[in-house]
Structure formats: structure tokens, C-alpha cells
Amino acid sequence: MPKATTQVCCICGADPNASPSLTALLEPLPASSSLNIARLLNTNDVPQDADIPPIQQTIVAAEDRLCALDAQILPLKAALAQLVQRRTKIAEHLREHRAVLSVVRRVPPDLICEIFDLATVRSRAGPGAPPWRLGCISRSWRQYTVEYPLLWSCLTIPESPLDQGVMTTCLSALRTQLLRSGAASLDIYWSAVDSQSRPAHIGPHTSAFQFLAQFVPCRQI
């Protein structure tokens, strides 16, 4: 036959099944019945021999109560940790499902594009200014952004000469802009003076030019 096992407190070794009730544990600590002991608690005086036994009894009683409290607290802590973990998962579950019913998801695409247009109209004249980051918000917003030509109609051609790697990146971005601008009128900001530096793929789109600004560096004036 298997041997019977007894659970004990890991701190003091007491049997938790024999612990006082929670109501008893929450009762106030008994006040000292001795004025001399009360004085010793507030001074550094040496206790008399007659004071030692009742103080030792008080210590033992406090240790027993502390051990009993620990026996009550440990399972409550474990249960609380599980409840907190469960609450976190349910809160995330709730957030995900609320997001499905978000009003933002039901905003018409044309209105979203108008908002994008108003939000970026003052900052498009410059490298990296086209609304590249707007497409990073969500898949649907990226689709709206890519398919709205007006957002891509402001092109900035950087000053040359540029490093070959930088030039390749800039030309790739310009090609993408021209493709996405569709039939929209173009605003061109030209930072290069050398006509030979103008990308050849801009030429076929000159009929769509609505505004052309050419900037001459101060060192060349």
C-alpha cells in the first residue's frame, strides 16, 4: 500500500490543513498584557528574566500565525497569476474582435484618399515626400494609396551628381511614382541644373506637367 503523505508549509513545516480559519487569521494581534513588555518594545532596555517567557510565547504565536497566513497566500497567488494570465488573453481576444467592428474599417475608400491628400499636400515637394509610409498602415490602406494617382503626382528630381547606389534608388522611386500617378497632372521639382542629368523616362510625361520648378544651387549662381 502506498504510504500516506502529509503536506507541510515550505517555510515553517506546519500542517496547512491544521491552520486556523481565515477569519481567525485576520483578527487583530493581541495587545501586550504587561506594561513592562510594552516599555521594552519602545526602548533598548535589557529585559528582565521574568519578561523573557511571555515574549518567547508571543514570538511562537506570531510565527505560527505567519506560517498559517503563508499557507493561505501561496495558493491564492498561484490562482491570481492564472487569472491575470487568462484576463490578458481574453482582453486581447476582445480587442481583436472589437477592431473588426471599428468605424475606421467602414470609411469609404474615396474619403480615406481625400484625407491622405489633405494630410500630405504640404509636404510632397522633397525626396521621400510621396506617401510611401501611408501604405504601411494596413493592407487595404496601401491599396487605396497605390490606386490614388493624385498622391503620387508631385515628383522631386534630386541634385546631381549622386552616388550610383543613391541614383539607382531615386530613379526606381521616380519610376514607381510615374506609374502610380497615372493620368494626374504632375508637379515637378527639379534640383539639377545639368540637362543631361534629367532621367530619360520623365520625357514622355511632359504633357502632364502642371507645375515645373527648377532650383539652382547657390554655388552655381
Residue range 2-20, pLDDT digits in tens: 555 555 555 555 555 555 7
CA distances from 74 to 14, 143, 191, 215 (A): 14, 54, 71, 74
Question: Which has the closest alpha carbon to 192: 159, 218, 143?
Answer: 159
Helix (H) or strand (E) holding 190: strand 186-190
Residue 75 pLDDT class (50, 70, 90 cuts): very high
Give the integer Cα–Cα distance in Å for 159 and 194. 9
The pLDDT of 205-219, averaged and rounded, is: 47
pLDDT, tens digit (0-9, with 9 covering 90-100), for 78-91: 999 999 999 999 99
From edge to edge, which strands make up the β-sheet containing 209-214?
A: 154-157, 186-190, 209-214
- Contact call for residues 73 and 18 (beta carbons, < 8 A): no
The residues pairing with 186 across neighbouring beta strands, listed in sequence order, are 209
Q: Which of 2-16, 19-33, 35-49 has the lowest mean pLDDT?
A: 2-16
**108 has pLDDT over 60:** yes
Residue 210 pLDDT class (50, 70, 90 cuts): very low
The pLDDT of 149-169, averaged and rounded, is: 73
**212 has pLDDT over 70:** no
Domain ranges of the chain: 16-100, 108-220
- Contact call for residues 205 and 171 (beta carbons, < 8 A): no
Q: What is the mean pLDDT of the chain?
A: 76
Residue 111 pLDDT class (50, 70, 90 cuts): very high
The pLDDT of 170-178, averaged and rounded, is: 80
- Contact call for residues 174 and 147 (beta carbons, < 8 A): no
- Contact call for residues 9 and 17 (beta carbons, < 8 A): no
